[in-house]
Amino acid sequence: ILPLGPAPSTAVGIPLAQSRLMLFGLDGLMTAAATLTVGPLSFVGLMAPHFAREAGLKRALPQMIGAALICGGLMVIADFVGRTSAAPYQIPAGLVSALLGAPCLMYLLGRRR
């Protein structure tokens, strides 16, 4: 009922603020569970489609190609930052991608359309 808008949702008695907060928390927990299960490198795979959609790619094929290019670019940037930020030591690219990507994904999840 929530996708129908605030008026129908409140008409049937759903508290909007609490429901949105619970859904936001559930999104975060599901993302964390998927990242822990598959690994931090797959976190970029969770972010790239959202970034492709934000880049204006609406159709399936351009969005898939854009997500693949964005995913590759993000991994190159994460690897570069991981190798150069604490030289001569290296930080794993998966850790850097999760640290840089988590705030971006939380922003995208929390943003109102």
List the chain domain ranges: 1-38, 40-113
Confidence of residue 21 (pLDDT cuts 50, 70, 90): very high
**Residue 21 burial (C-beta neighbours within 10 Å; 0-12, 13-18, 19+):** exposed
Place of tokens 């808008």: 5
- Which residue shows structure tokens 């190609």? 65
Quickly list H helices, 39-111. Answer: 42-54, 60-84, 93-110
Top mean pLDDT of 21-25, 50-54, 102-106 is at: 21-25
Q: What pLDDT, on a 0 to 100 scale, did the predictor assign at position 112? A: 60
Q: What are the distances in angstroms from CA 21 to CA 4, 17, 24, 109?
A: 17, 6, 5, 11
Whole-number Å distance between alpha carbons of 64 and 41: 18
> Mean pLDDT, to the nearest integer, of 85-99?
85
Q: Which amino acid is at 24?
A: F
* Tens digit of each residue's pLDDT (9 = 90 or more) over 52-89: 888 889 899 999 999 999 888 888 888 899 999 988 89
Check if the beta carbon of residue 78 is closer than 8 Å to that of residue 92.
no
What band does 113 get if pLDDT is binned at 50, 70 and 90?
Answer: low
Question: In this structure, what are the phi and psi dihedrals at residue 55, rounded to the nearest 5 degrees?
Answer: -75, -5
Q: Which of 8-12, 20-24, 93-97 has the lowest mean pLDDT?
A: 93-97
Indicate whether 42 pLDDT > 80. no
